[in-house]
Chains A and B, each alone.
Chain A
Amino acid sequence: MASQSAESIAVPAKIEVSLTVNGVAAKLQVAPWTTLLDALRDHLDLTGTKKGCDHGQCGACTVLVDGRRVVSCLTLAVMKDGAEVTTVEGLAKDGVLHPVQQAFIDHDAFQCGYCTPGQICSAVGLIAEGKAKTPEEIRELMSGNLCRCGAYQNIVAAIRQAMEARS
């Protein structure tokens, strides 16, 4: 960035993006460099989705986009115009916890709680994918979601409970 003149520097113009987040339609004015994660947290005040690395390495920012789990820190908001987004705030219905949320409490599948929204969204996505059947497969397909407190064993137990309740 050597000796760039002040005049040459401009931040990108904002673009309108329509999202349906947790069933609610929203129109946002975001710059093209704004990630879906920052759009959710800073523009829509949905701070349940967490930033743990901003590099797609930790999974704390996992949300469901059109039903599929994605890391929202590696997703630009403008790429998802028209998409349906579900965050951790949108999983409970009418005050009743989603079975995965309840299973996380039952099995003490978290400690500090920071990776938990990502783990839960990832687990909901995983169950919908229907690929993981065994604990070994759950572990493999949940490995994009780090938990530094080390609650992994309890997370797998929680996911199994939610899976069994579903089938």
Chain B
Amino acid sequence: MSTTYIGTPASRVDGPAKVTGQAKYAADYNVPGLLYGAVLSSTIAKGRIRRIDTRAARAVPGVVDVLTHENRPKMAENDKAWKDDVAPEKGSPFRPLGDDRVLFNEQPVAFVIAEDWETARFAATLIEIEYQNDHGQTDLEAARAKAFVVPKPEKPRGDAAKAFASAEIKHDAEYFIPTEHHNPMELFASTAVWEEGGKLTVYEKTQGVQNVQRFLCNVFGLKSENVKVMSPYMGGGFGAGLRPQYQVVLAVLGAIATKRPVRLVLTRQQMYGLGYRPATIERLRLGAKRDGSLDAMMHDATAVTSSFEQFSRNDTGWGDLLYKAPNSKHTHKLAMLDVPTSSDMRAPGAATGVYALESAMDELAVALKMDPVELRLRCYSDKDQNENLPYTSKNLRECYEQGAQAFGWEKRNPAPRSMRDGSELVGWGMATGVWEALQMPAAVRIALSANGHAEISCAASDIGTGTYTIMAQVAAEMLGLPIENVSIRLGDSSLPNTPVEGGSWMAATVSHAILVTANEIKGDLLAAAKKINGSPLAHENPEDVVLSDGSIMSRKNPSRTVRIVEAMREAGLDRIEKEKTHQFEQVKGYVHNTHSAVFAEVKIDEEIGVIRVTRVVNAVAAGRILNPKTAGSQILGGVVWGIGMALHEETAYDHRFGRIMNANIAEYHVPAHADIHDIQVIFVDEPDGRVNPFGIKGVGEIGIVGAAAAIANAIYHATGVRVRDLPITLDKLNR
């Protein structure tokens, strides 16, 4: 029996539950006496509710209550209570049914609670509302002049404006990424259930149960011990579930008002009233010498936020990580519109900012008549120039090499429109990706039973990322148990503290929490083993033994072992339980990032304008890969998102009314089966002893970064047409 699991392609431990329909999501808890909620959403973007008449709705048989800003139960009156763990620093968070103000379209303005869902939804249509319409602004272009600068960490280097003005080769262009919505497959849902003693359990769609738990306690003035938030499974997050969404507030309001359990499931349309990737205008100015070395880099981004909160992420500054340039200056602006607050969405800032940067680098390569990979190698930076620090590891060169080789890049004819397959134009493009390798403090509890079974638990969520599986692998290996003997409990706010699941930090975070807690268990087991008469481990120290293959084993002399179950039996231990928090040491003198090189092939039928992404190779350097199967799926998914971003995704507004025209999952195009062809993922070997003991960097975001640019660059190569506003739809190729 071997208990080596880290780095093996283990199948998901939650797989059987997910393929049989046993995995329960937030709307899957059918409890006795359950009531069903339906939201009525605003139809204006800005104004006030002058009059709201719910009499007809209340008269429908089966309707139990109708809540509006006029009659809802009490909620906190101060912004502090409404600020969740990841709320923007500046601003006043949205309060559903807070008052008569309308701040965005699709804002909840009434909440109907009925004995069944159909009745609730029908009754909601009977509510009459009279608005004062103040005609909100939803157009970034129109609000651009009023955008204001937000401070960002990167500081100017040298004199970028001067260097750009005198550069031998200049590139100056503006790129645009429209608003995009996460559209996880699961509708946002909450089921609020009263337990004995007036305690409240909320089954919730969230990436952070403890964040929601604290938020609900603050908003409703509830005691922490009386509120539990559960999310053992989540049907896709992508950032949409980092902050508590309004449906959980309404579900709890409903439960308080009716004193019964209440479920609220938003409609797909209503999910367009939640967060989104902000529309962003990105101006890139690159100044280079004829040999391809960069003199100046200027990146100016203007992104959307709401009228009431300032959400922003780093679109700019990624170039300072990737490309040597003595002069650099960036600005980041926010434009406040009458829309919900923008939010994190897969690789926030990088997906958009690196799209613009890598498109600009491609344009520069064209201007220089240089191969785009060659240009990136000439500018390759071994330092983060913002921090003036080297990387804990950076095997991006290997990403370029291995990616190019797997793709067959050397066969590329650099001339646009030079490659064909029958009647189709063929284009090959590439781009670089970069993300941060983040890690957070977290705790886990390990309970080892005398029968050799261990349960590992913490409040983390597995949002499809594979957290259950990699935790089982790490725990089994650290405890020396077969993986079948390890069970994982997640998504329960009463379990040990973990951060929200996001930013690609969870793999490193929970793995090290397991490592330190398993070491405590090992200490107890060794102490127990020493009590055995004539113990072969009598003179061993905890650091000199490992747990392996069901035994406590001497490192120096692996023949000296004691079976774990035997040690526990001899010591009279039924169970060893430990809970320990792991704090990462600050990585001093280094920065830590993941990198990738993305190569894409497109085929374009010019007559009908169809663009297909026929091949993608994504070569990723992300430290130690705990599970190439689940990590590979993360990268595959990221590439699919990149294809959506490049070709399909756009939340389309009618600015006259401030309404979204495609608030559904058919007219907001996300990639479907037929859009996805051959995607190859390569994990470049990248040992990293500096970032953390395991050398883990995380893979949730890096897969999307650079993917849209690689495709956009391939489309230019195929057609000779440079489209700088996403998505690249067929009409834009012919304008």
Are A and B associated in one complex? yes
User: Interface centre among B59, B632, B637, B638, by most A CB within 10 Å?
Assistant: B637
Query: In the bound complex, do residue B666 and residue A57 qualify as a contact, i.e. CB atoms below 8 Å apart?
Result: yes
Interface string of B112-125 (1 = CB under 8 A from A): 00001111001001
Query: In the bound complex, do residue B20 and residue A48 qualify as a contact, i.e. CB atoms below 8 Å apart?
Result: yes
Q: Closest chain A residue to B24 by CB distance?
A: A47
Interface string of A64-85 (1 = CB under 8 A from B): 0000000000000000000000
**Which residues from chain B contact A147 at a C-beta distance below 8 Å?**
185, 673
Which of B218-242 touch A at CB < 8 Å? Answer: 233-238
Is the CB of A62 closer than 8 A to any CB of chain B? no
Pick from B10-18, B75-83, B253-261, B711-719 the stretch touching chain A. Answer: B10-18
- Shortest CB distance A51–B (Å): 6
Distance, CA A57 to CA B662, complexed state (A): 13
Is the CB of A155 closer than 8 A to any CB of chain B? yes
Distance, CA A31 to CA B121, complexed state (A): 14
**Which residues from chain B contact A143 at a C-beta distance below 8 Å?**
672-674
Query: In the bound complex, do residue B639 and residue A108 qualify as a contact, i.e. CB atoms below 8 Å apart?
Result: no
Query: In the bound complex, do residue B21 and residue A46 qualify as a contact, i.e. CB atoms below 8 Å apart?
Result: yes
Is the CB of A120 closer than 8 A to any CB of chain B? yes
Q: Closest chain A residue to B29 by CB distance?
A: A47
Query: In the bound complex, do residue A113 and residue B636 qualify as a contact, i.e. CB atoms below 8 Å apart?
Result: no
Query: In the bound complex, do residue A112 and residue B633 qualify as a contact, i.e. CB atoms below 8 Å apart?
Result: no
- Shortest CB distance B537–A (Å): 39
Is the CB of A24 closer than 8 A to any CB of chain B? no
Interface string of A35-75 (1 = CB under 8 A from B): 00010011001111111111101101000000000000000
**Which residues from chain B contact A51 at a C-beta distance below 8 Å?**
27, 187, 265
**Interface size range on A against B:** 35 or more
Is the CB of B30 closer than 8 A to any CB of chain A? yes
Q: Closest chain B residue to A87 by CB distance?
A: B21
B interface: dominant SS: loop
Q: Closest chain A residue to B271 by CB distance?
A: A53
- Shortest CB distance B662–A (Å): 11
Known contacts being A4-B126, A33-B118, A150-B641, is A112 close to B464, with CB within 8 Å? yes
Which of A1-21 touch B at CB < 8 Å? Answer: 1-7, 9-11
Distance, CA A87 to CA B22, complexed state (A): 12
**Which residues from chain B contact A41 at a C-beta distance below 8 Å?**
28, 30
**Which residues from chain B contact A91 at a C-beta distance below 8 Å?**
20
Which of A96-117 touch B at CB < 8 Å? Answer: 97, 101-102, 104-106, 108, 110-117
Query: In the bound complex, do residue A114 and residue B28 qualify as a contact, i.e. CB atoms below 8 Å apart?
Result: no
- Shortest CB distance B436–A (Å): 22
Partner of A112, one of B16, B116, B463: B463
- Shortest CB distance A32–B (Å): 10
Is the CB of B314 closer than 8 A to any CB of chain A? no
Is the CB of B25 closer than 8 A to any CB of chain A? yes
Is the CB of B1 closer than 8 A to any CB of chain A? no
Distance, CA A108 to CA B633, complexed state (A): 7
Is the CB of B664 closer than 8 A to any CB of chain A? yes
Known contacts being A52-B186, A52-B665, is A113 close to B464, with CB within 8 Å? yes
Q: Closest chain B residue to A102 by CB distance?
A: B19
- Shortest CB distance B195–A (Å): 20
Is the CB of A161 closer than 8 A to any CB of chain B? no
Distance, CA A48 to CA B16, complexed state (A): 12
Query: In the bound complex, do residue A101 and residue B20 qualify as a contact, i.e. CB atoms below 8 Å apart?
Result: yes
Partner of A150, one of B126, B268, B466, B636: B636
Is the CB of A25 closer than 8 A to any CB of chain B? no
**Which residues from chain A contact B182 at a C-beta distance below 8 Å?**
148
Query: In the bound complex, do residue B119 and residue A146 qualify as a contact, i.e. CB atoms below 8 Å apart?
Result: no
Which of A113-161 touch B at CB < 8 Å? Answer: 113-117, 120, 138-140, 142-143, 145-156
Query: In the bound complex, do residue B21 and residue A48 qualify as a contact, i.e. CB atoms below 8 Å apart?
Result: yes
**Which residues from chain A contact B11 at a C-beta distance below 8 Å?**
105-106, 108
Known contacts being A148-B236, A148-B238, A153-B679, is A52 close to B673, with CB within 8 Å? no
Distance, CA A131 to CA B128, complexed state (A): 51
Which of B1-45 touch A at CB < 8 Å? Answer: 11-12, 14-25, 27-28, 30
Distance, CA A113 to CA B461, complexed state (A): 14
Known contacts being A1-B126, A47-B24, A51-B27, is A113 close to B61, with CB within 8 Å? no
Is the CB of B536 closer than 8 A to any CB of chain A? no
Query: In the bound complex, do residue B19 and residue A105 qualify as a contact, i.e. CB atoms below 8 Å apart?
Result: yes
Distance, CA A97 to CA B268, complexed state (A): 32
Distance, CA A105 to CA B19, complexed state (A): 8
Is the CB of B55 closer than 8 A to any CB of chain A? yes
Query: In the bound complex, do residue B630 and residue A108 qualify as a contact, i.e. CB atoms below 8 Å apart?
Result: yes
**Which residues from chain A contact B86 at a C-beta distance below 8 Å?**
none
Is the CB of B88 closer than 8 A to any CB of chain A? no
- Shortest CB distance A132–B (Å): 11
Query: In the bound complex, do residue A101 and residue B666 qualify as a contact, i.e. CB atoms below 8 Å apart?
Result: no
Query: In the bound complex, do residue A150 and residue B638 qualify as a contact, i.e. CB atoms below 8 Å apart?
Result: yes
Q: Closest chain A residue to B466 by CB distance?
A: A111
- Shortest CB distance B603–A (Å): 13
Distance, CA A60 to CA B235, complexed state (A): 11
- Shortest CB distance A9–B (Å): 5
Is the CB of B567 closer than 8 A to any CB of chain A? no
Distance, CA A131 to CA B25, complexed state (A): 34
Query: In the bound complex, do residue B672 and residue A146 qualify as a contact, i.e. CB atoms below 8 Å apart?
Result: yes
Q: Closest chain B residue to A7 by CB distance?
A: B59
- Shortest CB distance B672–A (Å): 4
Query: In the bound complex, do residue A150 and residue B185 qualify as a contact, i.e. CB atoms below 8 Å apart?
Result: no
Is the CB of B56 closer than 8 A to any CB of chain A? yes
Q: Closest chain A residue to B60 by CB distance?
A: A9
Q: Closest chain A residue to B183 by CB distance?
A: A148
Known contacts being A108-B11, A114-B185, A143-B674, is A49 close to B21, with CB within 8 Å? yes
Query: In the bound complex, do residue B630 and residue A146 qualify as a contact, i.e. CB atoms below 8 Å apart?
Result: no
Distance, CA A79 to CA B639, complexed state (A): 41
- Shortest CB distance A71–B (Å): 12
Is the CB of B451 closer than 8 A to any CB of chain A? no
Distance, CA A47 to CA B666, complexed state (A): 24
Query: In the bound complex, do residue B673 and residue A54 qualify as a contact, i.e. CB atoms below 8 Å apart?
Result: no
Query: In the bound complex, do residue A152 and residue B673 qualify as a contact, i.e. CB atoms below 8 Å apart?
Result: yes
Is the CB of B313 closer than 8 A to any CB of chain A? no
Query: In the bound complex, do residue A112 and residue B24 qualify as a contact, i.e. CB atoms below 8 Å apart?
Result: no
Query: In the bound complex, do residue A11 and residue B673 qualify as a contact, i.e. CB atoms below 8 Å apart?
Result: no
Q: Closest chain B residue to A150 by CB distance?
A: B640
Query: In the bound complex, do residue A9 and residue B126 qualify as a contact, i.e. CB atoms below 8 Å apart?
Result: yes
Q: Closest chain A residue to B56 by CB distance?
A: A4
Query: In the bound complex, do residue B674 and residue A11 qualify as a contact, i.e. CB atoms below 8 Å apart?
Result: no
Query: In the bound complex, do residue A110 and residue B27 qualify as a contact, i.e. CB atoms below 8 Å apart?
Result: no
Known contacts being A10-B61, A50-B185, is A150 close to B637, with CB within 8 Å? yes
Q: Closest chain B residue to A91 by CB distance?
A: B20
Which of B625-647 touch A at CB < 8 Å? Answer: 629-630, 632-634, 636-641
Known contacts being A53-B665, A54-B267, is A101 close to B636, with CB within 8 Å? no
Q: Closest chain B residue to A52 by CB distance?
A: B185
Query: In the bound complex, do residue B16 and residue A105 qualify as a contact, i.e. CB atoms below 8 Å apart?
Result: yes
Query: In the bound complex, do residue B673 and residue A116 qualify as a contact, i.e. CB atoms below 8 Å apart?
Result: no
Is the CB of B440 closer than 8 A to any CB of chain A? no
Is the CB of B465 closer than 8 A to any CB of chain A? yes
**Which residues from chain A contact B466 at a C-beta distance below 8 Å?**
111
Query: In the bound complex, do residue A110 and residue B665 qualify as a contact, i.e. CB atoms below 8 Å apart?
Result: no
Jot down 9 A-B pairs with beta carbons below 8 A, ordered by A.
A4-B56, A31-B116, A34-B118, A50-B185, A53-B666, A88-B19, A97-B20, A113-B14, A150-B639
Q: Which 6 A-B pairs have the closest CB atoms?
A: A48-B21, A150-B640, A114-B235, A112-B464, A113-B18, A111-B464
A interface residue numbers (CB < 8 A to B): 1-7, 9-11, 31, 33-34, 38, 41-42, 45-55, 57-58, 60, 87-89, 91-92, 97, 101-102, 104-106, 108, 110-117, 120, 138-140, 142-143, 145-156
A88-B19, A105-B12 given; 10 more Cβ-contact pairs under 8 Å: A6-B55, A42-B116, A48-B21, A58-B268, A60-B185, A113-B233, A114-B25, A143-B674, A150-B640, A153-B679
